[in-house]
Amino acid sequence: MIMLNEQYQNLTPSYLFAEVARRAAAFAQAHPDKEIIKLSIGDVTRPLAPAVIAAMHKAVDEMGEATTFHGYGPEQGYDFLRQAIGRYYQSFGVALEADEIFVSDGAKSDLANITDLFDRDNKVLIPDPVYPVYVDTNIMNGREIVYLEANEANGFLPAPPDFEADLVYLCSPNNPTGAVYNRDQLKAWVDYANRWGAVLLFDAAYESFITDPNLPRSIFEIPGARTCAIEFCSLSKTAGFTGTRCGYTVVPQELVFDGMSLNHMWNRRQTTKFNGVPYVVQRAAEAVFTDEARTQIRASIAYYQENARVIAAGLDRLGIAYTGGVNSPYLWMRCPNGMGSWEFFDDLLQKAAVVGTPGEGFGSCGKGYFRLTAFGNHEKTLEAMERIQKAYG
C-alpha cells in the first residue's frame, strides 16, 4: 500500500494567498457591482521593458531557423546570461565566478529546492513573520523549525540569537515587513553563521528597490559571507518576469562542509532534476542587464515606488503605524482599532472593496498586522487609499 508524506498534515489547511483569493472571489460574486482593488498578492503590473521584448523577439526568430535553433541548454544557464549577472554584481562591488551562478525559473523554486542538499535533522531558524515558502518546504521535509521574533521593538529585523541553528533564512528587503538590514546587522548574521557552521539562505528578490547607497543589495557585500551564505534572486520584481519566469541562485565555491562542496552538490541536483530555463527567456533575461533596459526598468521601479509613497502618505494621514515603503515595495501596517489580521481583511473588503494580505498568514508574530503592496496600477492605488481614508478616517 502506498505511504504518503504525513508532514503535509502539519501544514496550514490552505496556502495563504489561495485563501486571500478565495475570500476576494466570494466577495466579488456576492457584490458584482463593486470593483475590488487588490493591494495584496505581490504580482507586478508594468509590462516588460522594450529592450527585453526586442531581445525575446530576436530569440524567437532564432528558434525558427535550423542554423540558430536551440534545444537543451546547460542546466546551470547559458554562459551569456551567467556572465551578464556576474557583471551586474560587479556594479555594486561583488565579484562572482560564472560557475557560482545558477539560472533558474525563479527564487521561489530554488528556495524550496535548496532543501534537497541538507539532512532533515538540521535545525532551521526562521524569522517570524516570514514568507510562507520557507516554513512550508521545511515542514514538508520534517525539519525542526525554530522561530525568531520580528517585532516593532527590533524594527522587524531580528538579530542573531544566542543558540545554535544550522540553516537560517533571511530576506532583505523583507517580505512581508518591508524592513531592510544594514551592513552591520548583516555582518552580525554572517559572523553568527561562521561561528556555528551554519548556512544563511539569503533571499534578495527585492534588492532592486533599494535606493539608499548605504544599504547592501547582496549578502556577498558583507565580509565572510562567501563561507556561509547562498543568495537567491529573481527577475520577477526586478524586471517584471513574474509571468516569464527567470531567477538565479549564487552558491560560492567556498561553501564546503565535511569535505562536500555545496556548489558541486547544487550543480548535481540541478543537472538531475532540472532541464534549464528556455533559451528565449534567457536571452530576454540577458537584456535586463543592458544599459538600455536598466534605464527602462528603473522607470517601472520608480512607478511602484511612487505607489508606495501614496500608500505611506495615506497611512500617515490615518495615524497608522507601519514599516517599509522605502527601499521596498511592501508596507507592513498595524491593523486599526485593535482588529485581528483576518478580521481587518474582511472589514476592509466589506467597507472599501480593497484586498490586502493578513499578517497572521505570515506567522504568529503577524497577528494584528497587514501587508499592502505597491505593485498595482497607480490610479487604482490612489483610489484604494481614498477608499481606506473614507472607511477609517
Residue 391 cell numbers, joined: 472607511
pLDDT of residue 51: 98
Sign of the dihedral through C-alpha 327, 329, 330, 333: positive
Distances 380 to 301, 356, 376, 384, 389 between C-alpha atoms, Å: 17, 14, 7, 6, 14
Count the helix, strand and coil residues of the chain and give each as a percent rounded to the nearest 5.
Answer: 50, 15, 35
Residue 158 has pLDDT above 90, yes or no: yes
Tell me the per-residue pLDDT of 207-253, one tens digit each, with 9 for 90 and over.
999 999 999 999 999 999 999 999 999 999 999 999 999 999 999 99
Count Cβ atoms within 10 A of the Cβ of residue 150 and give its class: 0-12 exposed, 13-18 middle, 19 or more buried: buried
Picking from 272, 275, 202, the residue whose alpha carbon sits closest to that of residue 234 is 202
pTM reported for the whole predicted model: 0.96
Contact 173/210 with Cβ under 8 angstroms? yes
With H, G, I as helix, E, B as strand and everything else as coil, classify residue 157. coil
Using CA atoms of 279, 285, 287, 289 in order, give the dihedral in degrees to the nearest 10. Answer: -140
pLDDT of residue 88: 98
Residue 114 cell numbers, joined: 535548496
Distances 233 to 28, 81, 305 between C-alpha atoms, Å: 34, 14, 19
Residue 1 has pLDDT above 90, yes or no: no
d(CA 354, CA 113) in angstroms, rounded, equals 34
372 sits in which H/E element: strand 369-373
Contact 207/239 with Cβ under 8 angstroms? no
CA angle 82, 87, 91 (to 5 degrees): 145
Mean pLDDT rounded to a whole number for the chain:
96
Residue 13 has pLDDT above 80, yes or no: no
- One DSSP character per residue, 215-241 reads S-SSGGGSTTGGGTEEEEEEHHHHHSG
Tell me the per-residue pLDDT of 338-390, one tens digit each, with 9 for 90 and over.
999 999 999 999 999 999 999 999 999 999 999 999 999 999 999 999 999 99
Contact 338/354 with Cβ under 8 angstroms? no
Give the neighbor-by-neighbor strand order of the sheet with 229-234.
101-104, 247-250, 229-234, 199-203, 167-171, 123-128, 144-149
pLDDT of residue 291: 97
332 sits in which H/E element: strand 330-334
Rounded mean pLDDT, 54-70:
98
pLDDT of residue 15: 82
Tell me the per-residue pLDDT of 288-344, one tens digit each, with 9 for 90 and over.
999 999 999 999 999 999 999 999 999 999 999 999 999 999 999 999 999 999 999
86 sits in which H/E element: helix 79-90
Rounded mean pLDDT, 177-197:
98
Residue 41 has pLDDT above 80, yes or no: no
pLDDT of residue 229: 98
pLDDT of residue 53: 98
d(CA 170, CA 149) in angstroms, rounded, equals 13
d(CA 257, CA 249) in angstroms, rounded, equals 19
355 beta partners: 38
Residue 141: φ, ψ to 5°: -90, 0
pLDDT of residue 14: 76
Contact 388/348 with Cβ under 8 angstroms? yes
With H, G, I as helix, E, B as strand and everything else as coil, classify residue 158. coil
CB-CB neighbours of 335 under 10 Å: 23
